[in-house]
Amino acid sequence: MLSTSAPQRAMPFASLPNMGEEEFVRWVDLLERRTGVLVPPGRKSFLVTGLRMRMRETGYDDFQTYFNEVLNGVRGAMEWATLVDRLTVHETRFFRHEPSYDLIAGEWLPEIARPGSSGAIHAWSVGCATGEEAYSLAMVLDRGLRSLGDHRMYFGVTATDISNAALSVGRIATYPRERQAEIPEPFRSEYTELQGSDSFVISESLRKRVGFALFNLLEVARAPLKQLDLIYCQNVFIYFARERRRKMLEALASRLKPGGLLVLGPGEITGFTDPSLTRVGGRQTLAYQRLG
Ligand SMILES: C[S@@+](CC[C@H](N)C(=O)[O-])C[C@H]1O[C@@H](n2cnc3c(N)ncnc32)[C@H](O)[C@@H]1O
Which residues does a 6 A CB cutoff place in the pocket of ligand 1? 35-37, 88-92, 96, 127-129, 133, 161-163, 166, 216-218, 234-236
d(CA 37, CA 237): 8
pLDDT at 151: 79
Domain 13-86 class, CATH top level: mainly alpha
Q: Which among 177, 100, 91, 86 has a CA at the least distance from the CA of 129? A: 91
Ligand 1 probe mutation, 32, 88, 285, most atoms within 8 A of CB: 88
d(CA 142, CA 208): 12
Ligand 1 centroid distance, CA of 26 (Å): 22
AA identity, residue 145: L
pLDDT at 168: 98
Pairing label, strands 286-290, 256-264: antiparallel
pLDDT at 2: 41
Contact criterion met (CB below 8 Å) for 206 and 146: no
pLDDT at 292: 80
DSSP labels, 156-215: EEEEEES-HHHHHHHHHTEEEGGGGGGSPTTHHHHHEEEETTTEEEE-HHHHTTEEEEE-
Ligand 1 centroid distance, CA of 181 (Å): 23
d(CA 64, CA 142): 50
Chain segment 126-182, per-residue pLDDT in tens = 999 999 999 999 999 999 999 998 778 999 999 999 999 999 999 999 999 999 999
Nearest 5°: the CA angle 287, 291, 292 is 140
pTM of the predicted structure, to 2 decimals: 0.93
Contact criterion met (CB below 8 Å) for 262 and 237: no
Ligand 1 centroid distance, CA of 238 (Å): 10
pLDDT at 4: 40
Fold adopted by 98-290: Rossmann fold (3.40.50)
pLDDT at 260: 96
Chain segment 62-76, per-residue pLDDT in tens = 999 999 999 999 999
As annotated, the residues of the chain forming the CATH 3.40.50.150 domain(s) are: 98-290
The 3-state DSSP class for residue 263 equals strand
Ligand 1 centroid distance, CA of 31 (Å): 14
Given a cut of 50, the residues of the chain with pLDDT beneath it are 1-6
Going from the C-alpha of 219 to that of each of 69, 157, 209, the distances in angstroms are: 24, 19, 24
As annotated, the residues of the chain forming the CATH 1.10.155 domain(s) are: 13-86
